[in-house]
Amino acid sequence: MQAIEIKTATGKQSKILTGEDFTNFQNCFSAQKFILIIDENIFDLYPFFRKFNCIKIRADEKNKTLETVENIISQLIELQADRSTFIVGVGGGITCDIAGFSASIYMRGLRFGFISTSLLSQADASVGGKNGVNFNGFKNMAGTFNLPEFVICDTNMLNTLPQNEFIGGMSEIVKIALIKDLEMFNFIEYNTNAILKRNKKILQKLITKSIQRKTDIVSSDEFEKSERRMLNFGHTLAHAIERNSEISHGFAVSIGIRFAAEISKYFNLILNDDIVRIKNLLVNLGLPLHTEINDEILFKTIIADKKKNDDEINFVLINDIGKSLEKNIKISDFKYLISKFK
């Protein structure tokens, strides 16, 4: 077991335990009463959780809504949750985002922690305290910044993860490597086969590296004023794809990564060889590179989304594998870039 601590400038703390057995979760907090907000798939697959007070949710992007939060609040009231109740979110990124948000607003905020069950959430989503829900199909429009007290990342739980979900999780890990860590990118390239075979030792190393990188970023910029915005690499297009299709977050991010890399090359920030490496890695991992969605639809969705600034879009690029920067791109130029590279 390895513990990684996040300490933010505002004095908040969170500990992330990799390689910890999920059945030890009660050692991570003390509270007279606790309630699990749990992905119904995990509830079905892991009978261990049935003996606890559970609020079950369906982990579906369409269900990541205020209505689901209302439903959770009703059940918390029924279960007589009060200010001293501790909430444990158990599931992937969708469940942790919803559970963290519900805990943050119920009675002005309950303490909470996560048992993170998908590769995407272990390596990225449950680290860093962003939580929230979608609104009218726009991603993560309502939410808070609030760190969980603990996150348990038990790699054994990844054994039951469907293959598509496993592969999708790799896109966020590749993203973190691309913006922050060339050595991590090399590691993924070198170990692609072992990763796809879910070699435990390699996965454990990879998840730990990913969490460390994300922790560095979050510790220095809890509220996404600067450095943390780099984590949005690949996400501008990804969110537009998700709004207009059934494609999963991880797969949409892969397409978004390739798109943002092409734009980085367009501005002469990276070499053609880098693009080839990035595309090869994504393909070797089984991730998609392109979307069939119409340019105009993607463009309209992107300019309606939250990361626009007047007539420019704030966009994250890489200026070498492992280094990132932000650039404001004129909306008119952006339209051209979508038609060229989407």
Interface residues with ligand NAD (CB under 6 A) are 39, 41-42, 45, 59, 61, 64, 91-95, 97, 117-118, 120-121, 124-125, 128, 130-131, 139-140, 157, 160-161, 165, 168, 172, 249-250
Query: 278-288: string of b/e by CB count within 10 Å (b at 16+)?
Result: bbebbeebbbb
C-beta of 218: minimal distance to ligand NAD in Å?
Answer: 9
Q: Which is nearer to ligand NAD, 167 or 269 (CB)?
A: 167
Residue among 332, 321, 61, 38 nearest 182 (CA)? 321
Q: Which is nearer to ligand NAD, 120 or 152 (CB)?
A: 120
Query: Rounded to an integer, what distance in angstroms lies between the CA atom of residue 332 and that of residue 223?
Result: 29
Closest residue to ligand NAD using C-beta atoms: 93
End-to-end CA distance of the chain: 41
C-beta of 132: minimal distance to ligand NAD in Å?
Answer: 7
- Residue 197 corresponds to which tokens in the numbers above? 């075979």
Q: Which is nearer to ligand NAD, 305 or 320 (CB)?
A: 305
Q: Where are the alpha helices (DSSP H) in 85-199?
A: 93-105, 119-120, 163-180, 182-190, 192-196
Q: Which is nearer to ligand NAD, 124 or 274 (CB)?
A: 124
Name residue 267's beta-bridge partners: none
C-beta of 273: minimal distance to ligand NAD in Å?
Answer: 29
Q: Which is nearer to ligand NAD, 13 or 328 (CB)?
A: 13
C-beta of 142: minimal distance to ligand NAD in Å?
Answer: 13
C-beta of 336: minimal distance to ligand NAD in Å?
Answer: 28
C-beta of 339: minimal distance to ligand NAD in Å?
Answer: 26
Query: Rounded to an integer, what distance in angstroms lies between the CA atom of residue 274 and that of residue 267?
Result: 14
Parallel, antiparallel, or unpaired for β 54-57 and 34-39?
A: parallel
Q: Which is nearer to ligand NAD, 117 or 208 (CB)?
A: 117
Backbone φ, ψ for residue 211 (5° rounding): -65, -40
